[in-house]
Amino acid sequence: MLPTRLAAALLVLPALAGPPVPTQPVPDEPLALIEASREAASRRDDARALDLLARAARFLPFDPRVPYDRAKLLARAGRDAEALVALREAFERGGAGRAPEEAAFATMKTRPEALRLFVEIADRNRPKGEASVAFTVRQKDLLPEGIAHDPRSGAFFLSSLYRRKVVRVAPDGAATDFAGEARDGLWKTVGLKVDAARGRLWVMSGADDAAMARVEPEGVGRSGAFVYDLVTGALLRKSVLDGRPHFLNDAAILPDGDALVTDSEAGALLRVSGSDGAISTVLPPRSLPYPNGVVATEDGRRALVAHAAGVALVDVATGSSREVRPCKGVALVGLDGLAWSRGTLIAVQNGLFPDKVVRYRLSADLGSVQSAEVLLRADPRFRIPTTAAVAGDDLYVVANSHLDAFDSLGRPRGEGPTEPVVLKVPLGTGRP
């Protein structure tokens, strides 16, 4: 689960630049630099905003947000030719999806080269792919984030950001509570993983805010990994983290029954023992900016971790990591849930407009993207898709998590959420 839609929130800049105001130093952390740049731009301190983006660019060589924000600042200053170069760079990094509707670029639309670029962007924004409704759950405020599939029973499991429970959906579509609301001390439930070999369901749960998790303020920052018996629903064990803010977000099951778990708030990757629940560290705190979805290779030796600035390839034994390099036109930012299927990486990308599900073919060493195939894009049923689970030859996607359906006080926005929908996307041959 993403903390906000930072990757997609493209700042609408004011019309004119103005004088700078006193500011606080910003650490050399890429996302902090982007946020500070956008804050400076909102105050019309364009010189500082551009300086902060230049600093961020040193850490984010493939991130489309940096050239995109730079393009908007340059366009606002009337430097259309330079803005167009920056916008083209953002597009070639897989971003710039909202450019045709941005007021900041209105004056550029008289330039033929800009019009050609806007046509290319619009073409890449068009809906693509086929999906059918696998099932719906008749509980509008469920707010599902995670999904898992049990190949033995054919059942699916959905987590719940608002109801603090886990729902089981039988093959006939009947939905029942597997772990009821707040049972066993559950907070928001997020990532789910089935360990079919051992008959277990792993549930990641945490309280990253008081309103949505419906806990007292002193409970914010607590999180845990809960392990249930798939057949009886009994809690087998739970591993809870207190102290500094934690948010155990997603998990990948290793061959020995342990789970790799992302701690998004701490910026860490953990290993939770499947036998006694002991927690050890693979990547220490502050290693990654908001680590999110995670998958492991079949042998359990390597893991791919989506984080707020890209995807990290991690050696599970040594804890060494490096960034996966995207190919031209492909962005690895804004990824939420990951799946691993037939040697390819599948991701739900809800942090760059438009929302999409993408399959990546990686190099033999998993260090770079060789090609990418959009499986589903701009589907009208999307309302912040989050995660996906592979079942046979199909991918099942949580289409409408409604992460934005409640405000910071836990109150519904507008008409509120609709019934959760899970879409079935055919995977075909698995060859991008």
Q: Render pLDDT for 244-260 as a digit per residue (tens, 0 to 9).
A: 799 999 999 999 999 99
Q: Is residue 311 part of a domain?
A: yes
What is the mean pLDDT of the segment spanning 49-74?
96
Strand partners, 369: 362
pLDDT, position 242: 85
pLDDT confidence tier of residue 415, bands split at 50, 70 and 90: confident
pLDDT digits 0-9 by tens, 266-317: 999 999 999 999 999 999 999 999 999 999 999 999 999 999 999 999 999 9
Distance, CA of 193 to CA of 155 (rounded, Å): 13
In the prediction, which pLDDT does 213 show?
58
The DSSP secondary structure of 210-251, one letter per residue, reads HHHHT--GGGTT-EEEEEEETTT--EEEEEEE-SS---EEEE
Q: Check residues 51 and 243 and name the one with the higher pLDDT.
A: 51
Domain boundary among 108, 125, 142: 125
Confidence of residue 344 (pLDDT cuts 50, 70, 90): very high
285 and 406 belong to one structural domain: yes
Is residue 302 domain-resident?
yes
Residue among 134, 133, 120 nearest 90 (CA): 120
Q: Kindly indicate the confidence band of residue 18, based on its pLDDT and cuts at 50, 70 and 90.
A: very low
Look-up of token digits 């998958």: 295
Three-state helix/strand/coil letters over 279-299: EEEEECCCCCCCCCCEEECCC
Report the pLDDT averaged over residues 200-204.
98
Instruction: Find the mean pLDDT for residues 2-22.
Output: 45
Hey, how many other C-beta atoms are within 10 angstroms of the C-beta on 321?
17
Shared domain for 250 and 326, answered yes or no, is: yes
- Do 136 and 276 belong together in one domain? yes
pLDDT higher than 80, residue 76: yes
CA–CA separation, 26 and 35 (whole Å): 10
Domain shared by 186 and 294, yes or no: yes
Q: Which domain holds residue 111?
A: 30-125
Strand 166-169 to 175-179 pairing? antiparallel
Does residue 50 lie within any of the structural domains? yes
Please tell me whether residues 67 and 216 are part of one structural domain: no
Would 378 be classed as within a structural domain? Answer: yes
Of 70, 101, 125, the residue at which a domain comes to its end is 125
Q: What pLDDT sits at residue 109?
A: 86
Phi-psi region of 403 (alpha: psi -120 to 50; beta: other; left: phi over 0): alpha
Q: How far apart are CA 165 and CA 168, in angstroms?
A: 10
Dihedral pair phi/psi, residue 106, rounded to 5°: -60, -40
Q: Could you tell me the maximum CA-CA distance found in the chain, to the nearest angstrom? A: 66
Residue 171 lies in a domain: yes
pLDDT bin (cut points 50, 70, 90) of residue 208 is confident
CA-CA-CA-CA dihedral for 305, 152, 247, 326, to nearest 10:
20
pLDDT greater than 60 at residue 211: no
Lowest mean pLDDT among 24-33, 44-53, 189-198: 24-33
Cα separation, 168 vs 178, in Å, equals 5
Q: Are residues 295 and 388 in the same domain?
A: yes
Give percent helix, percent strand, percent coil of the chain, each to the nearest 5. Answer: 20, 30, 50
Q: Across the chain, how many H-helices and E-strands are there?
A: 6, 24
Residue 230 falls inside a structural domain: yes
Separation of alpha carbons 206 and 224, rounded Å: 6
Does residue 305 share a domain with residue 256? yes
- Between 30 and 366, name the one with better pLDDT: 366
The 3-state DSSP class for residue 167 equals strand
Whats the size of the chain, residue-wise?
432
* CATH number of the domain within which 99 lies: 1.25.40.10
Instruction: Write out the DSSP string of 354-404.
Output: SPEEEEEEEPTTSSBEEEEEEEEES-TT-SS---EEEETTEEEEE----TT
Query: Same structural domain for residues 149 and 83?
Result: no
For the entire predicted model, the pTM comes to: 0.92
Same domain flag for 96 and 137: no
Shared-domain flag, residues 157 and 114: no
Confidence category of residue 212, pLDDT binned at 50, 70, 90: low
Q: For the residues 182-186, what does the mean pLDDT come to?
A: 95
d(CA 398, CA 111): 41
Domains: count for the chain:
2
Which among 125, 147, 173 is the end of a domain? Answer: 125
pLDDT of 6 > 70? The answer is no
And the tokens for 184? 């066993």
Residue 197 and residue 278 in one domain: yes
pLDDT at 215: 67
Give 324's DSSP letter.
P
Q: Is residue 279 part of a domain?
A: yes
Provide the mean pLDDT of the chain: 92
* CATH code of 147's domain: 2.120.10.30
Gap between the Cα atoms of 391 and 309, Å rounded: 29
212 vs 185, 190, 399, 411, CA distance in Å? 15, 13, 20, 9
Q: What pLDDT, on the 0 to 100 scale, is given for residue 14?
A: 39
Decide: 270 and 280 in contact? Cβ < 8 Å: yes
Q: Which residue has the tokens 């990824």?
A: 335
Cβ-based neighbours of 411, under 8 Å, separated by 6 or more: none
Whether residue 412 has pLDDT greater than 90: no
Task: Dig out the tokens for 189 from the structure.
Answer: 């439930």
The residue-averaged pLDDT of 383-407 equals 94
In this structure, the number of other CB atoms found within 10 A of the CB of residue 360 comes to: 24
Please tell me the distance from the alpha carbon of residue 164 to that of residue 144, in angstroms, as a whole number.
10
With b for 16 or more beta-carbon neighbours within 10 A and e for fewer, the 293-304 pattern comes to: bbbbbeebebbb
Q: Does 9 fall in a domain?
A: no
What phi and psi, each to the nearest 5 degrees, are found at residue 66? -65, -55
Q: Which of 17-31, 70-84, 150-164 has the lowest mean pLDDT?
A: 17-31
Check residue 183 and report its DSSP letter. G
**Strand partners for 193:** 202
Identify the weakest region by mean pLDDT among 208-222, 293-307, 340-354.
208-222
Q: Are residues 198 and 342 in the same domain?
A: yes
